[in-house]
Amino acid sequence: MAYKLFYALGSAAMGTRVILEEIGEPYELIQSTIAMDEPRPPEQLALNPNGWIPVLIWGEKAMYECAAITVFLCDRHPEADLAPAVDDDVSVFLQLGPECLSAQLLSRSLCRYPG
């Protein structure tokens, strides 16, 4: 099942995109915007009234918040080995990892998908 990601260059959604790339599952980008003078897609606002991206869709479900999406995808795809398995070590990852991973992925993605 392909993921869909509300996305814009220069946004936090770039970090989520890198995670999807690392996982290797098919995904589709749905163009959004972070420009203050442009409207957000209504489908995105229906899923996240804050208007923020990323918003991730899979099947009939959707979620938002970078760190939560990071944990969700790492858990859902253990074969990608992006995070520790659920044991004692995961507490340190959950304390620091998702936010750090999101920030690192964003800077990496700015290099990988410039402009």
Ligand X SMILES: N[C@@H](CCC(=O)N[C@@H](CS)C(=O)NCC(=O)O)C(=O)O
Q: Counting contacts by CB under 6 A, is residue 12 touching ligand X?
A: yes
Q: Please, are residues 26 and 112 in contact by the beta-carbon 8 Å criterion?
A: no
Sheet containing 61-64: give its strands across: 27-31, 3-7, 55-58, 61-64
Q: Counting contacts by CB under 6 A, is residue 23 touching ligand X?
A: no
Q: Which stretch binds ligand X (CB under 6 A): 58-66, 73-81, 82-90, 107-115?
A: 58-66
User: Which burial class, exposed, middle or buried, applies to 45 when counting CB atoms under 10 A from its CB (0-12, 13-18, 19+)?
Assistant: middle
Q: Counting contacts by CB under 6 A, is residue 41 touching ligand X?
A: no
Q: Counting contacts by CB under 6 A, is residue 65 touching ligand X?
A: yes
User: CA dihedral defined by 13, 16, 22, 23, rounded to 10 degrees?
Assistant: -130
Q: Counting contacts by CB under 6 A, is residue 71 touching ligand X?
A: no
Q: Please, are residues 6 and 54 in contact by the beta-carbon 8 Å criterion?
A: yes
Q: Which stretch binds ligand X (CB under 6 A): 21-29, 50-58, 70-78, 81-89?
A: 50-58
Q: Counting contacts by CB under 6 A, is residue 16 touching ligand X?
A: no
* Number of residues lying near ligand X (CB under 6 A): 9
For ligand X, the binding residues (CB under 6 A) are 11-12, 34, 51-53, 64-66
